[in-house]
């Protein structure tokens, strides 16, 4: 047996499966291509600690306390795996034992084999949720069956949650989990106790009945929709919804199900907002980008664009409300609400406004409420005059705003309730007493989905939260997670000069975090903004030759084409090149040998995206304004180069539409292999890292894979929905699955 083991180890060394010196953190590197561990020709199973040979017939039994219950007799010559033992007994699994005596022979595998089996059978280590917070996306007002006034709040999380709050008592009245959704942007409540909720990214419609406190999932609203942006209740059991990326509108009727009403406007993929005028059966739909506002007569199916030309350069019509014959349309990004006659569609005026929309009408004052300039304001429907309510909203604006009778002696008549920002802060203003209160809702904490991970300064693993913007760090040595700061949703991160740089959406802002310096209040000011019509810094690479940070960006809605930006911290100099590849965005970057290698995507808001091909290029890092060198790829019309990584030998590895490629700058030759048949999405759907063991690791379509550069053989690992990838200083590989950080052994 010793000779066989020696031969096996020699063979494994020759195959590159065992390294003579492996750190404690990288002990499993040797087994990453293996799927089984063999022990004298027999597979070593999960949990197995040894084996049993029957030398003489012996009894197999179970234990009932101290009593033995005989099952059968094991015969001489039989073989069994051992998983545990008790004093004087050996377990063969399933709760069965034999006596450990002269009738049996017990053998144990080597420590190396046990370690190999542990690595193979326990490849994935769940490090748990990294970010916890209360992120209130939006809300609506309603009533419990006994008349209790409720605020319905949608919380981001893994999964998202629906919470009903007793407004007067500021106490959770009910809460439900929105299974399958990590966020929910849309909510609409009717007078019959029905609440409709639109989930993201599953695009499901949910229904909550406040009378029975039950939540039901009505299913996916649109075949090609992933986000429901707005919902408009239109009578008992009927709701309209708008979605993206199909730019469509749907109708749901209780008992009948979904009806696809089609795209609002041809070529418009973002149906942002809805309002409904029951009197003339007209649905108003706001779209982007660029902005349009459509009056859609559902009786005749006639559509009419009613947005004045001077506003059509806006990104979108972000929110719509129809109140007493007036239509209020909130623009994005301008802080304006446009007022229309909802019967004739005539434009009346614009008012400065920052809130997502307006409240219901206060009949006593013939007014609606909204927020602007961190103050609550009201608009008189008859006169068109606006006025401000005394008091401050403390640096926030309303993301939802309603007028409701709290049915409480301390709050006579109508009261305005509004969510302020996304932290769970709320406004309560009683119109009769002219009293304004700002407070925090008692909302439950949630595990927040991780949006991005990266190796940061000192080898720690940095996690950034989706929407919430929190940044946490996991220390591989102490195995502790700590919250660092809150800055916004980081599309990309990179480490340079022992500092962490983050590209934050929206606005393509760059932040610099120095771990040696304290952060006041957990918040950092932005270092600078890319500008030039850019919104997302989707790629970052630190160039050691020039000690500069290279960044690839994606444009705002309504803009066309991305940019390549370069920042040198020492000189505080910036170079920004818009449309370095015309009408494409730079979505992947890698630094190697004095060059910056880049990859683009055709999805950059251009008109002829389907006719274009993504570009793989390089640029001398010392001359960022120089001419780029396009490098041909042996791929058929690639749409996107998701990720790039530079190996120590100078080879540039990349992912494009599920294909892995390796470009050798010395020979100018490229070899490829397919990882997955197809990919979805416009970016963030493929990541790569070069392992310390020389292997190439990556994620694509929630698959974790490894490729051997010498054999170009791939191994797909199952066990978790893996996306994003990074590596610590010891060679451990990390990825995210929802709110959880995972380590791959």
Q: Calculate the dihedral angle through the C-alpha atoms of 627, 633, 636, 638, rounding to the nearest 10 degrees.
A: -50
CA–CA gap between residue 500 and residue 498 (Å, rounded): 7
Tens of pLDDT, residues 323-371: 999 999 999 999 999 999 999 999 999 999 999 999 999 999 999 999 9
Quick one: how far is CA 84 from the chain centroid?
42
Residue pair 428/414 in contact (Cβ under 8 Å)? The answer is: no
Residue 146, classified by CB atoms within 10 Å of its CB into exposed (0-12), middle (13-18) or buried (19+), is exposed
pLDDT at res. 629: 96
Answer for the pair 545, 622: CB distance below 8 angstroms, yes or no.
yes
Average pLDDT over residues 681-709: 91
Most confident of 25-34, 85-94, 502-511: 502-511
24-52 pLDDT per residue, tens: 446 777 777 787 889 888 888 888 899 99
* 532 Cβ contact list (under 8 Å, min separation 6): 563, 576, 578
How buried is 385 (Cβ within 10 angstroms: 0-12 exposed, 13-18 middle, 19+ buried)?
exposed
Beta strands (DSSP E) in 381-424 are 386-388, 398-405, 414-420
**Residue-level pLDDT at 3:** 37
Which of 130, 39, 92 lies closest to 742, judged by CA? 130
pTM here is 0.74
Q: What is the pLDDT of residue 28?
A: 78
pLDDT cut 70: percent of the chain above it: 97
Distance CA 436, CA 402 (A): 14
Q: Where are the beta strands (DSSP E) in 544-675?
A: 548-555, 563-568, 573-578, 585-592, 595-601, 616-620, 629-630, 641-646, 652-656, 659-664, 669-674
In which residue are the tokens 């980081």 written?
490
If you count DSSP H runs as helices and E runs as strands, how many of each does the chain have, helices first?
Answer: 2, 67
pLDDT at residue 404 is higher than 80: yes
Q: Which tokens sit at 366? A: 């013939």
Q: Which helix (H) or strand (E) holds 379?
A: strand 375-380
Average pLDDT over the chain reads 91
Confidence band, pLDDT 50/70/90 cuts, at residue 466:
confident
> How many angstroms separate the CA atoms of 52 and 332, rounded?
72
Q: Give one DSSP letter per residue of 446-507, joined into a string.
A: EEPPEEEEEE-GGGPEEEEETTT-EEEEEETTTTEEEEEEE--EEEEEEEETTEEEEEEETT
pLDDT value of residue 4: 38
For range 179-204, the mean pLDDT = 92
What average pLDDT does the segment 505-513 reach?
94
Residue environment code for 558-597, b if the CB has 16+ CB neighbours within 10 A, otherwise e: bbbbbbbbbbbeeeeebebbbbbbebbbbbbbbbbeebbb
Q: What is the pLDDT, as a whole number, of residue 588?
A: 97
Tokens of 307: 């947005």
Q: How many residues does the chain have?
A: 745
Q: Does pLDDT of 80 surpass 70? A: yes
Nearest-CA neighbor of 553 among 574, 577, 572, 569? 577
**CA dist., res. 294 & res. 307, Å (int):** 8
448 and 128 in contact (C-beta within 8 Å)? Answer: no
User: Structure tokens of 474?
Assistant: 């996991």
| pLDDT for residue 26 | 63
- Going 108 to 110 to 112 to 113, the CA torsion angle's sign is negative
The angle at the Cα of 640, spanning 638 to 646, to the nearest 5 degrees, equals 105
3-class SS of residue 382:
coil
Task: Give the integer Cα–Cα distance in Å for 407 and 397.
Answer: 26
DSSP state, 309? G
Question: Beta strands 659-664 and 713-717: pairing type?
Answer: unpaired
Residue 2: is its pLDDT beyond 50?
A: no
- State how far the Cα of 688 lies from the Cα of 677, in Å rounded to an integer: 18
> Order of strands across the sheet with 248-253?
227-233, 238-244, 248-253, 257-263
**d(Cα 26, Cα 29) in Å, to the nearest integer?**
6
Q: For the ranges 9-18, 107-116, 268-277, 278-287, which has the lowest average pLDDT?
A: 9-18
Query: And the tokens for 497?
Result: 């000069």
Confidence of residue 445 (pLDDT cuts 50, 70, 90): confident
Q: Measured between alpha carbons, how far is residue 313 from residues 151, 246, 272, 545, 551 in Å?
A: 35, 21, 16, 42, 27
**What is the distance between the alpha carbons of residues 283 and 138, in angstroms, rounded to a whole number?**
22
Q: How far is the C-alpha of 581 from the C-alpha of 564, rounded, in Å?
A: 9
Residue 19 burial (10 A CB sphere; 0-12, 13-18, 19+)? middle
Q: What is the 3-state secondary structure (H, E, C) of 87-155?
A: CCEEEEECCEEEECCCCEEEECCCHHHHHHHHHHHCCEEEEEECCEECCEEEEEEEECCCCCEEEEEEE
Q: Is 191's pLDDT higher than 80?
A: no
Would you state the pLDDT for residue 608? 80
As a whole-number percent, the residues of the chain with pLDDT over 90 amount to 75
Q: What is the pLDDT of residue 7?
A: 35
Contact 663, 652 (CB under 8 A): yes
Residue 8 carries which DSSP code? Answer: H
3-state secondary structure of 710: coil
């Amino acid at each position: 047996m010793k000779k066989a083991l020696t031969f096996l180890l020699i063979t494994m060394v020759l195959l590159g499966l065992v390294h003579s010196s492996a750190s404690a953190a990288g002990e499993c590197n040797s087994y990453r291509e293996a799927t089984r561990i063999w022990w004298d020709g027999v597979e070593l199973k999960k949990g197995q600690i040894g084996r049993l040979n029957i030398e003489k017939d012996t009894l197999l039994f179970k234990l009932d306390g101290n009593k033995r219950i005989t099952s059968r007799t094991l015969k001489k010559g039989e073989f069994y795996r051992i998983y545990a033992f008790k004093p004087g007994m050996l377990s063969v699994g399933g709760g069965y034992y034999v006596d450990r005596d002269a009738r049996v022979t017990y053998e144990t595998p080597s420590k190396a084999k046990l370690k190999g089996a542990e690595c193979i059978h326990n490849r994935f280590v769940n490090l748990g949720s990294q970010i916890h917070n209360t992120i209130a996306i939006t809300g609506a007002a309603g009533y419990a069956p006994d008349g209790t006034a409720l605020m319905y709040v949608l919380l981001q999380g893994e999964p998202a949650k629906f919470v009903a709050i007793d407004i007067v008592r500021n106490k959770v009245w009910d809460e439900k989990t929105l299974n399958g959704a990590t966020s929910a942007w849309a909510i609409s409540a009717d007078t019959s106790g029905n609440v409709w909720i639109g989930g993201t990214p599953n695009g499901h419609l949910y229904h909550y009945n406040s009378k029975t406190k039950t939540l039901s999932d009505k299913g996916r609203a649109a075949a090609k929709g992933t986000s429901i942006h707005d919902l408009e209740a239109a009578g008992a059991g009927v709701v309209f919804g708008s979605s993206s990326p199909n730019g469509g509108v749907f109708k749901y009727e209780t008992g009948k199900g979904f009806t696809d009403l089609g795209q609002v406007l041809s070529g418009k993929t973002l149906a942002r907002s809805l309002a409904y005028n029951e009197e003339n059966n007209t649905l108003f739909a706001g779209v982007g980008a660029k902005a349009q506002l459509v009056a859609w007569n559902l009786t005749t199916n006639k559509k009419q664009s009613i947005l004045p030309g001077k506003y059509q350069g806006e990104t979108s019509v972000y929110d719509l409300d129809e109140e007493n014959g007036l239509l209020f349309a909130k623009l994005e990004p301008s802080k304006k609400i446009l007022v229309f006659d909802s019967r004739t569609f005539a434009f009346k005026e614009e008012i400065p406004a920052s809130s997502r929309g307006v409240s219901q009408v206060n009949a006593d004052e013939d007014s609606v409420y909204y927020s602007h300039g961190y103050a609550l304001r009201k608009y008189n429907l008859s006169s068109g005059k606006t006025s401000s309510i005394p008091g401050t909203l403390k640096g926030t604006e309303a993301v939802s705003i309603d007028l409701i009778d709290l049915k409480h002696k301390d709050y006579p008549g109508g009261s305005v309730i509004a969510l302020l920002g996304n932290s769970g802060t709320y406004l309560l203003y009683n119109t009769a007493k002219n009293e304004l209160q700002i407070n925090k809702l008692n909302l439950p904490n949630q595990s927040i989905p991780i949006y991005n991970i990266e190796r940061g300064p000192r080898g720690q693993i940095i996690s950034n939260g989706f929407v919430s913007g929190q940044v946490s760090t996991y220390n591989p040595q102490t195995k502790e997670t700590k919250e660092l700061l809150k800055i916004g949703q980081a599309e990309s991160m990179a480490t340079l000069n022992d500092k962490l740089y983050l590209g934050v959406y929206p606005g393509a802002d760059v932040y610099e975090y120095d771990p040696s310096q304290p952060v006041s209040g957990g918040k950092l000011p932005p270092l600078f903004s890319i500008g030039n019509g850019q919104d997302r810094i989707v790629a970052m690479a630190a160039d050691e030759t020039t000690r500069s940070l290279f960044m690839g960006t994606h444009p705002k809605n309504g803009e066309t084409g991305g940019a390549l930006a370069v920042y040198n911290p020492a000189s505080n100099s910036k170079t920004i090149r818009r449309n370095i590849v015309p009408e494409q965005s730079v979505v992947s970057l890698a630094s190697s040998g004095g060059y910056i290698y880049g990859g683009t995507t055709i999805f950059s808001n251009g008109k002829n995206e389907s006719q274009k091909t993504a570009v793989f290029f390089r640029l001398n890092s010392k001359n960022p304004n120089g001419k780029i060198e396009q490098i041909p790829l042996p791929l058929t019309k690639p749409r996107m180069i998701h990720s790039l990584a530079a190996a120590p030998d100078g080879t540039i590895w990349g992912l494009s539409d599920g294909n892995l490629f390796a470009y050798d700058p010395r020979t100018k030759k490229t070899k490829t292999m397919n990882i997955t048949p197809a990919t979805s999405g416009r970016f963030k759907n493929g990541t790569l890292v070069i392992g310390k063991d020389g292997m190439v690791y990556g994620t694509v379509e929630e698959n974790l894979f490894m490729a051997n550069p010498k054999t170009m053989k791939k191994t797909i690992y199952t066990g978790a929905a893996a996306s994003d990838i990074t590596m610590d200083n010891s060679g451990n590989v990390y990825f995210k699955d929802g709110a959880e950080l995972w380590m791959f052994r």
